[in-house]
Amino acid sequence: MKRLSGAGLVGWLAIALLLFCRVCAAADERSGLPLTAQESAHIADPAWRQQTEAIAQSDFNALPDMPRVGPGRLKTYYLYAEVAPWLVAPGVTQQAWTYDGTVPGPTIHVHQGDRVRVILINRLPEPTTIHWHGLEVDADMDGVPGMSQDAVAPGQSFVYEFTASSPGTYIYHTHFDDLNQLDRGLYGAVVVDPPKPEPFDHDYLMVLSSWRILSDAENYFSINGKSYPLTKPFLVRSGQNIRIREINISGTEFHTMHLHGHRFQVIAMDGQPVPIAARQTMVTLLIGPGETRDIAFVANAKPGTWMFHCHVLDHLMNGSVGPGGLITAVQYENAPNRLVSMASQDSMAAAAGGGGDEDGPAAGGPPMSPITVYILGAIAGLTIFFGLPFAALRRVSPKGIAFLNAIAIGILFFLLFDILRQASNPVESALHDVALGAPRGAFFGLLAVYLAGLGAGLLSLVFLSRPMLAKSGAGAPPALALATMIAAGIGLHNFSEGLAIGQSAATGAIQLALLLIIGFGLHNMTEGFGIAAPLAASGGTNVRTIVRLGLIGGGPTFLGTIVGYRFVSPVLSVLFLSLAAGAIIYVISEMTKAGAKIGFKELATFGVFLGFAAGLGTDLILSAAGA
């Protein structure tokens, strides 16, 4: 093997150094441009951050007017991506993800040909980037993680720089974890003025955006960061020429913006001017997510307050009530301002019929009368008696006793599974709300009720059964005592079923209420068999006992219907379901002991399966009913 000469070694070292420099250069491209010494000092200075936020707040307060274009050809902006409280609607404050503490972030207003330098400082709990939507930038400035840069980690910064070469209305926004970060507030407008702009008396900005407030879907909508009635009007005088730059930065929603009393023309689309010959006169504009539209009109209507709103009607809601959301007005300066008057003189509610949403079943009309509700609740509770006659069976063979006992265990196993699932739903929903920004108190409160109810239901039967065991002298409770325990556990569960019936009737969802009654009735029949099985295995019982057990197991359905018709409480529902679960756990253990003593293992196993299948079948009917 030949040794390298001195010259050859130097050559190889030069190649290696060149490759190293290229790798470093590529890494630098993905990590942004370097900060100057002054910029580094500013980032480290808390006073500079406070000053930046104060300027941003001042610019926000001026909206829908835009800030003036600053002096010089190099425009430098500091954007602190940070969490800050933000009042979206009256009484609704979000921990928003903001640029410099405002939503939308500061408007970047520059002249065509200006050099724009933006320093992003990430103070968020996760990485982020900025995408320059519609602007002509280099690939390494485009803000797409993985494609054009590495995402900016918490505590890090990134310098973007580009020339504002094309005049128009554009957007800047996060491009990391978009569905989450965008609807939390990480967006702003970029306006590039041409050397000779069209003359307008007012050049306004309208940023349309959405929020997910304790919801997986966009359920609050804002204009320049605020939902009606916190929105601000567009002030005009008679005869003025008005331009409004509309931006839709909602994550998923299209908007149809309708202006009362005026006709307008779209003069620019996505930053590009529309030729005069191609301009269309309109009163309603469809604008999709990520689109910008500049409209122009003459203030030639009779002076007053002229509504300007989205015509997608659920976008006029704050959650499930309205008016709210995307409502503002063109307000003539010499006329009384009545923008907020609509909030006290109009009312909107979630649309009726067609099912429910994450807030519960939708209303379908006027509520049922109380007498009708009470009668139907009583019918649902009395259906438990269809399964109870099995308790009167006499002279059942040992095989029959084993089979009946096993079927009852199977029914109770399914009932336990079903009850725990229902009791967990409000707890899991509260935990999900915490992830969306709700206070933790509701979740921990429901969790405490869940665990306390489960423990109380289990331990109460343990202590109550002690006198029965001592009296019988056996290792298991007498058949009547066991049947009574089963009836008590089922009764607690049926109270929660009654709550569902009462709630549906009260909200006017009559079809749902009737289906629930039918479904719960079939469900109660199998529960009645579960109560009857221990008595049938012991040689039967009399009618009086059957009636008493039916009232213990089915009566709470009627009581729950009355309570549910008056008010709905997740705490109450979780409490009764968890009490029922605890009681049924104890009963299953006692019945399993009794079954082991009887024998016929194979037959009993099939009986457990059959009982579970019967419970599942009636539950599927409930699901089909919409419960």
Contact indicator for 249, 209 with CB cutoff of 8 Å:
yes
40: phi then psi, degrees, rounded to nearest 5:
-60, -40
- What does the alpha-carbon distance between residue 75 and residue 190 come to, in Å, rounded to a whole number? 12
Spans of the chain, pLDDT less than 50:
1, 21, 23-29, 352-365, 469, 472-475, 509, 512, 626-627
Going from the C-alpha of 558 to that of each of 91, 145, 382, 429, 578, the distances in angstroms are 38, 59, 9, 27, 19
* 323 and 446 belong to one structural domain: no
| DSSP bridge pairs for 76 | 117
Residue 32, helix vs strand vs coil: coil
- Looking at residue 543, its pLDDT comes to 75
- What does the alpha-carbon distance between residue 40 and residue 282 come to, in Å, rounded to a whole number? 50
pTM of the model: 0.65
- Looking at residue 514, its pLDDT comes to 56
Q: Is residue 307 assigned to a domain? A: yes
Tokens of residue 360, six digits: 């519960």
CATH of the domain at 297: 2.60.40.420
Q: Is residue 66 assigned to a domain? A: no
- Looking at residue 375, its pLDDT comes to 79
pLDDT per residue over 417-437, tens digit each? 877 887 888 888 788 777 766
35: phi then psi, degrees, rounded to nearest 5:
-75, 145
Tokens of residue 158, six digits: 């990134």
| DSSP bridge pairs for 236 | 332
* 424 and 327 belong to one structural domain: no
- Looking at residue 390, its pLDDT comes to 60
Contact indicator for 63, 206 with CB cutoff of 8 Å:
no
* 407 and 334 belong to one structural domain: no
- What does the alpha-carbon distance between residue 375 and residue 370 come to, in Å, rounded to a whole number? 9
Q: Which residues have C-beta within 8 Å of that of residue 481, sequence separation ≥ 6?
A: 465, 468, 472
Q: Is residue 168 assigned to a domain? A: no
* 429 and 546 belong to one structural domain: yes
- What does the alpha-carbon distance between residue 387 and residue 583 come to, in Å, rounded to a whole number? 20
- Looking at residue 23, its pLDDT comes to 43
Q: Which residues have C-beta within 8 Å of that of residue 541, sequence separation ≥ 6?
A: 391, 392, 480, 535
- Looking at residue 268, its pLDDT comes to 97
Q: How far, in whole angstroms, is CA 287 from its chain's centroid?
A: 24
Q: Look at residues 349, 378, 399 and tell me which one is the last residue of a structural domain.
A: 349
- Looking at residue 298, its pLDDT comes to 98
Containing structural domain, residue 472: 370-625
Tokens of residue 106, six digits: 């500061």
Residue 550, helix vs strand vs coil: helix
374 exposed, middle or buried (CB, 10 Å; 0-12, 13-18, 19+)? middle
- What does the alpha-carbon distance between residue 286 and residue 256 come to, in Å, rounded to a whole number? 4
Q: Is residue 362 assigned to a domain? A: no
- The tally of CA atoms less than 13 A away on the side-chain side of residue 39 is 16
- Closest to 474 measured CA to CA, from 463, 483, 465, 464: 465
Q: Which residues have C-beta within 8 Å of that of residue 295, sequence separation ≥ 6?
A: 243, 244, 246, 264, 265, 266, 267, 282, 285
* 313 and 417 belong to one structural domain: no
Q: Is residue 448 assigned to a domain? A: yes
Contact indicator for 490, 528 with CB cutoff of 8 Å:
no
- What does the alpha-carbon distance between residue 366 and residue 506 come to, in Å, rounded to a whole number? 8
Question: How would you classify residue 626: left for phi > 0, otherwise alpha for psi between -120 and 50, otherwise beta?
Answer: left
* Number of structural domains in the chain: 2
* 295 and 390 belong to one structural domain: no
- Following DSSP, what letter does each residue of 102-132 receive, concatenated? BSS---EEEETT-EEEEEEEE-SSS-B--EE
Q: Is residue 534 assigned to a domain? A: yes
Going from the C-alpha of 99 to that of each of 182, 432, 627, the distances in angstroms are 12, 26, 44
* 258 and 287 belong to one structural domain: yes
Dihedral sign computed on CA atoms, order 587, 593, 594, 599: positive
Q: Which residues of 455-475 are buried (b: 16+ CB within 10 A; e: fewer)?
A: eebbebbeebbeebeeeeeee
Q: How many of the other CB atoms lie within 10 Å of CB of 560?
A: 29
- The tally of CA atoms less than 13 A away on the side-chain side of residue 145 is 13
* 466 and 343 belong to one structural domain: no
Q: Is residue 29 assigned to a domain? A: no
* 421 and 529 belong to one structural domain: yes
* 385 and 527 belong to one structural domain: yes
Pairing of strands 187-193, 108-111: parallel
* 343 and 374 belong to one structural domain: no
Residue 371, helix vs strand vs coil: helix
- What does the alpha-carbon distance between residue 105 and residue 53 come to, in Å, rounded to a whole number? 10
* 275 and 315 belong to one structural domain: yes
Q: Look at residues 314, 349, 384 and tell me which one is the last residue of a structural domain.
A: 349
Residue type for position 218: E
Q: Is residue 328 assigned to a domain? A: yes
- Looking at residue 500, its pLDDT comes to 64
